[in-house]
Amino acid sequence: MKGLRPSRIVDLSKEIAENPQDPFFMRVKVKHHPHGRARWLVRLLGLPFRLFPLDFDGWADDTITRMGVHATTHIDAPWHYGPTDAEGGRLPTIEQMPLELGFGPGVVFDMSHKGDGEEIAIADLEASLAASGASIGPGTIALIRTGRDRFQGQRDYWKLGTGMSVAATEWLIDHGVKVMGIDQWGWDVPFHHQIRRSREQGNSRLFWAGHLVGRRKPFWHMEQLRGLDLLPTHGFDLAVFPLRLKGASAAPARVVAFLYD
């Protein structure tokens, strides 16, 4: 698709806004400053009011007073999964994400049939590819469509969803996929399912297992995408470029798909 101009651009990112329904760990607070306040700043800097342009109301300004890097559509760096890899090397933070990883052909895996708390297996990914005729390889950006984006903004959003298994996550990585994303709150099944299974099975390897793959096989993944149902299964390009936050575990990102005729 090199050289083609997209016929449509689809925004796959959540709107960043204050929502009282969000749990405290997802809460965003934005303060909007009115135009008039800037007039006084300009006056303090030395310009008399009589020399202000007649149509100058002052500039609007806004301050994000609270927003965690995982609170909205974002991409996680390997540093989020732990400080070191399997060999003891330091895992990269978000500003160390190679830019070339942020643009590539996208493939949508339809997992909307999976129930809450039910893990996505390799067989599910293979069946989705077989049904769509898509293929993956180095440079592919994999998108997992669960349909749980319809619950964004609701109080229980973070408790709903399926989740990627260890095997399915490794399968994508082993096929050359370094960047992947999902349209629910997290990559794994919701916390309460992970905790219940860990307690029932007495197994210390179940909690956050999909994320922890990234300590053995570093990868980058997006969470809280939306609108994956607006995309074809393949034949489009995807761009995801995080804010350049030094030393951070993740960063908010504007994720967009480029569709072609």
Are 60 and 86 contained in the same domain? no
Are 41 and 155 contained in the same domain? no
Angle at 189 between CA 224 and CA 218, to 5 degrees: 70
Inside any domain, residue 23? no
Inside any domain, residue 21? no
Are 35 and 90 contained in the same domain? no
Are 218 and 178 contained in the same domain? yes
Range of the domain at 123: 8-15+69-259
The one-letter amino acid code at 230 reads: L
Task: Report yes or no: 94 and 242 within 8 Å, Cβ to Cβ.
Answer: yes
Are 137 and 234 contained in the same domain? yes
Largest CA distance in the chain: 76
For residues 36 and 41, what is the distance between their CA atoms, to the nearest angstrom?
Answer: 9
Task: Report yes or no: 116 and 82 within 8 Å, Cβ to Cβ.
Answer: no
CB atoms within 10 A of CB 218: 18
Inside any domain, residue 120? yes
Closest CA to 142 of 154, 128, 131, 130: 128
pLDDT at 2: 55
Inside any domain, residue 249? yes
pLDDT at 106: 98
**Beta pairing class for 61-66 and 74-76:** unpaired
Inside any domain, residue 3? no
Q: How far is CA 167 from the centre of its chain?
A: 21
The count of domains in the chain is 2
Q: What is the CA radius of gyration of the chain?
A: 21
Are 249 and 200 contained in the same domain? yes
Task: Report yes or no: 12 and 30 within 8 Å, Cβ to Cβ.
Answer: no
Task: Report yes or no: 173 and 217 within 8 Å, Cβ to Cβ.
Answer: yes
Residue ranges, the chain, pLDDT below 70 = 1-3
Please return the burial class of 140, using the count of CB atoms within 10 Å of its CB with bins 0-12, 13-18 and 19+. Answer: buried
Are 115 and 56 contained in the same domain? no
pLDDT at 4: 79
Kindly report whether the global pTM for this prediction surpasses the value 0.85.
yes
230-255 b/e (C-beta count within 10 Å ≥ 16 → b): ebebbebbbbbbbeeeeebbbbbbeb
pLDDT at 3: 63
Are 236 and 169 contained in the same domain? yes
Are 131 and 58 contained in the same domain? no
